[in-house]
Structure 1
């Protein structure tokens, strides 16, 4: 599997950056995970919109799904519109972004599938397992398996015993780490720190940890240091353009 980071900012894209977005490839099949703010131009630097084979959305906050709208426009309004794009998301998560256009404009450009935690599904060469994780809105942790390799992604999440199950033995864990050491009390049930991510990665025995969703303008060094307090494996921060082979 090959994973390309399109963006890793939380909340809004810092100058020259993008919010959450990851392109996962295996055997020529391309899955776009979380098309957040400003991710589409970065995707189009890599491939045309019609080459995306499926989209996975962890939750409905716009920093994780807003660029689904221009992606669908690029496909629906092109000279040769491709087949409908399968889009997988928690129920109702995409109501707002899909309402940005008149339904006729995007008619036939996508098929919407509700993510069902506990029910594996096949998406091209990938097996997808979804996990319900705590956030301000329904959030699905995503575990993709293909070719004997595993990539796990938390979306945005607070503390949960399911995080270790999601990440167990993964070759790569992409983990939300909005704050370096401590999440403010009001958000503590719904968000994670880099310290939390390191503990999860260590408990799950993952081979590589990629911290993402850092607050815009946050330097990476405090997050890396916090995660390294408990995790001694390969460690990095998700920045646009970073490519990982697993």
Structure 2
């Protein structure tokens, strides 16, 4: 399994970076997980095999629009793209174009967090994790390896359960340590992510969705205060090979 970080910024992309997005490859199959602002130009090609969206906030799904445009508005349109997403979460981004414009390029497969399904060689387990909108945490298994991803999530015992013994755990860490009162229960910090990784006995913790004022080095140090395994801050272009 090969994981390429397309972006790891939370809320909006910093200069030269992008918001949440990951390309996961196995046996030649290319699966994009989340497509936030700025991620589409970082895909090696628009010809991915499928997309999974964790939730409907634009820093996780806005670039699905240009990806579909790149597949449909060309001399030889691509086949319909399977896109897995919680029910109703893509209504806003799919309404950006005139009705029907991108329909031929989209095979929308809505699911309810908690469902299981397959995407190419990947077995996908989902879990409803706490956020302001329905958010699906993901656990992908292929070739004896496991990738877990929180999307955006407040603290929950389900996070550690989702990431149990995962080889790579992509965990939202908007803040270094304390979460502001208005976001308590809906977002997490690097300290919280480190604790979840330790409970899960995960292998490699990758901190993602860092907000603009969250210093990556400080976030890594905070996570290491709770977790003894490898810790990395997500950045565009980072490649993880399992």
The TM tier, using the shorter chain, reads over 0.9
Consecutive unaligned residues of structure 1, counting only runs of 5 or more, are none
Q: Report the equivalent of 1:13.
A: 13
Q: 1:203 aligns with which of 199, 206, 209?
A: 199
The Cα of 1:217 is off from its aligned counterpart by 4.6
- Corresponding residue for 1:181? 177
User: How many equivalent pairs are there?
Assistant: 242
Q: Give 1:111 deviation, angstroms.
A: 1.2
Measure the CA separation in 2 of the matches of 1:239 and 1:14: 11
Residue range with higher mean Cα deviation, 215-224 or 226-235: 215-224
Compute the TM-score of the two structures, normalised by the length of structure 2: 0.98
1:225 and 2:221 are equivalent in the alignment: yes
C-alpha separation in 2, matches of 1:145 and 1:215? 29
Residues 31, 52 of structure 2: 8 Å contact kept: yes
Q: Would you say 1:172 and 2:168 are equivalent positions?
A: yes
Cα offset, 1:214, TM superposition = 0.5
Separation of aligned partners in 2, 1:154 and 1:78: 34
Shift of 1:53: 0.5
Per-residue deviation, residues 116-170 of structure 1 (Å, max 9, x unmatched): 3333211100000010000011100011100000000000000111111110000
The corresponding residue for 2:68 is 72
Answer yes or no: is the 8 Å Cα contact 1:90–1:139 preserved in 2.
yes
Match of 1:55 among 37, 51, 54: 51
- Whether 1:191 aligns to 2:192 is no
Extract structure 1 runs of 4+ deviating beyond 4 A. Answer: none
1:56-77 deviation digits (Å, cap 9, x = unpaired): 0011000000000000000001
For the residues of structure 1 that align with 2:183 and 2:215, how far apart are their CA atoms? 21
Residues 115 and 127 of structure 2 are in contact (CA less than 8 Å); yes or no, is this contact kept in structure 1?
Answer: no
1:43-96 CA distance string (max 9 Å, x none): 1xx2x212x001000110000000000000000011111110010111111000
Alignment check: 8 A CA contact 2:174 2:208 kept: yes
The residue aligned with 1:158 is 154
**2:124 counterpart residue number:** 128
1:106 aligned onto 2:96: no
Judge conservation of contact 1:31–1:54 (CA < 8 Å) in 2: yes
- 5+ residue gaps in structure 2? none
Corresponding residue of 2:139: 143
- Aligned 1:31-46 pairs, distance under 5 A: 31-43=31-43, 46=44
Report if aligned partners of 1:14, 1:217 keep a CA contact under 8 Å in 2.
no
Secondary structure of 1:164's partner?
A: helix
| 8 Å Cα contact 2:174/2:214 also seen in 1 | no
TM-score normalised by length of structure 1? 0.96
User: Distance between the aligned counterparts of 2:125 and 2:62, measured in 1?
Assistant: 23
Partners of 2:193 and 2:223 lie apart in 1 by 6
